[in-house]
């Protein structure tokens, strides 16, 4: 089986490469803006790499050529930063999805598996889990969410390939520690202190309840979606739900009630000052999206997570505390340049 992966050097992409290398019948083609150097090591060695920006309309022609004889495409290419450049994000996330879909159509690839997200859902309950039938209307103030909605709309309107949209919760792994810190925290928080597994204060709000899943479990779901005769959306989450009281116990801290307006205000002020890269839309996303039921993935893909949410979180915290990374540009270990505030693109 020949599989092409866009965004193959990121968090989910790196995990998927690891998973596919264990499959003897697969040939892997990787597409990324910045491809790993020769001799980068596992899981990047042995992949046929192409450097390309999927947001560039000119990518359609060469991508169509690279797709000759490909059995499935996994579309992971996505930008979260630079969060101050809205048009750049839309170009990669929405236009990039359109370009990949067009190349898939032209090349006649039979299967397209797309990296969607819990972020595609509209506001929903935090006291019960919803299925894939919950409205995929997004959170209006979150640019990430709205791009996920727009990308899924393109795919739902498409004809031709069998299309699967996977909607995971937060994706954690050790090797993404430095990359996730760059994307969401910036250079100022003392993440090295996380090795002591103590965070003195955990902000508490009734709707700050989120779900996570290990990157290796997400990668397994991608392979199952390629091989199974299924289409449509699938939720991917692991138990238990991560909430402030549990985090405080886990990290030997205490919860402090914080109104949503204060959380948004702090995020907005520090984001506008470029002290950290997370805009207030991420706060709205965290409190807005519902809890997810992954029953369809279990029933139709035979998928179940090997890691629970706490194990996935522990791996991430350990990776963040040690500035862990890989040989890819997206997941590189922390450098001195990353410690300077005012980052334009922390990827």
Residue 203, domain member (yes or no): no
The answer to whether residue 300 is domain-embedded is yes
Q: How many domains does the chain have?
A: 1
Question: Is the residue at 244 inside a domain?
Answer: no
Average pLDDT of the segment spanning 154-170: 97
Q: Residue 337: pLDDT band by 50, 70, 90 thresholds?
A: low
Q: Is residue 79 part of a domain?
A: yes
Q: Is residue 328 part of a domain?
A: no
How far apart CA 116 and CA 78 sit, in angstroms, is 10
Residue 345 has pLDDT above 60, yes or no: no
pTM score: 0.95
Mean pLDDT to the nearest integer, 113-124: 98
| % of the chain surpassing 90 pLDDT | 92
Which pair of structure tokens corresponds to residue 263?
């959380």
Q: Is 52 inside any structural domain?
A: yes
| SS3 at position 235 | strand
* pLDDT above 70 coverage of the chain, percent: 96
41: left (phi over 0), alpha (psi -120 to 50) or beta: left
Q: Give the pLDDT confidence of 13-61 residue by residue, as tens digits.
A: 999 999 999 898 899 999 999 999 999 999 999 999 999 999 999 999 9
Measured distance CA(66)–CA(32) in Å, rounded: 13
Which domain covers residue 13, as residue numbers?
Answer: 2-175+212-238+291-307
The pLDDT value given to residue 142: 98
**pLDDT for the residue 69:** 97
pLDDT score of 344: 41
237: tokens are 């989450």
Q: According to the model, what pLDDT value does residue 197 have?
A: 86
Burial class (CB in 10 A: 0-12, 13-18, 19+), 272: exposed
Residue 109 lies in a domain: yes
Write out pLDDT tens, residues 251-295: 999 999 999 999 999 999 999 999 999 999 999 999 999 999 999
342 domain-assigned: no
- Gyration radius from the chain CA atoms: 19
CATH number at 138 reads 3.40.50.720
């Amino acid at each position: 089986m020949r599989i092409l992966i866009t965004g193959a050097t990121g968090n989910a992409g790196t995990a998927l490469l690891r998973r596919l290398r264990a499959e003897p019948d697969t040939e892997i083609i990787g597409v990324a803006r910045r491809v790993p150097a020769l001799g980068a090591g596992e899981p990047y060695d042995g992949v046929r790499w192409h450097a390309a920006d999927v947001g560039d309309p000119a990518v359609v022609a060469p991508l169509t050529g690279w797709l000759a004889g490909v059995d499935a495409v996994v579309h992971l290419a996505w930008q979260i930063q630079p969060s101050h450049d809205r048009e750049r994000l839309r170009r990669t996330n929405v236009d990039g999805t359109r370009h990949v879909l067009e190349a898939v159509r032209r090349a006649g690839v039979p299967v397209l598996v797309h990296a969607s997200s819990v972020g595609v859902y509209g506001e929903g309950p935090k006291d019960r889990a919803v299925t894939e039938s919950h409205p995929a209307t997004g959170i209006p103030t979150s640019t990430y969410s709205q791009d996920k909605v727009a990308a899924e709309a393109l795919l739902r309107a498409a004809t031709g390939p069998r299309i699967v949209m996977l909607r995971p919760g937060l994706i954690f792994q050790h090797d993404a520690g430095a990359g996730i810190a760059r994307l969401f925290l910036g250079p100022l928080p003392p993440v090295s202190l996380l090795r002591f597994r103590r965070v003195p204060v955990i902000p508490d709000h009734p709707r700050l309840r989120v779900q996570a899943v290990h990157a290796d479990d997400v990668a397994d779901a991608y392979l199952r979606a390629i091989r199974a005769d299924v289409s449509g959306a699938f939720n991917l989450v692991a138990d238990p739900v991560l909430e402030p009281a549990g985090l405080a116990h886990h990290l030997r801290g205490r919860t402090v009630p914080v109104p949503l307006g204060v959380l948004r205000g702090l995020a907005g002020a520090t984001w506008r000052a470029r002290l950290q890269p997370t805009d207030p839309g991420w706060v709205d996303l965290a409190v807005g999206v519902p809890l997810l039921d992954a029953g369809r993935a279990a029933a139709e893909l035979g998928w179940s997570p090997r890691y629970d949410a706490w194990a996935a979180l522990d791996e991430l915290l350990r990776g963040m505390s040690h500035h862990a990374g890989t040989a890819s540009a997206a997941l590189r270990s922390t450098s001195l340049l990353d410690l300077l505030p005012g980052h334009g693109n922390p990827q």
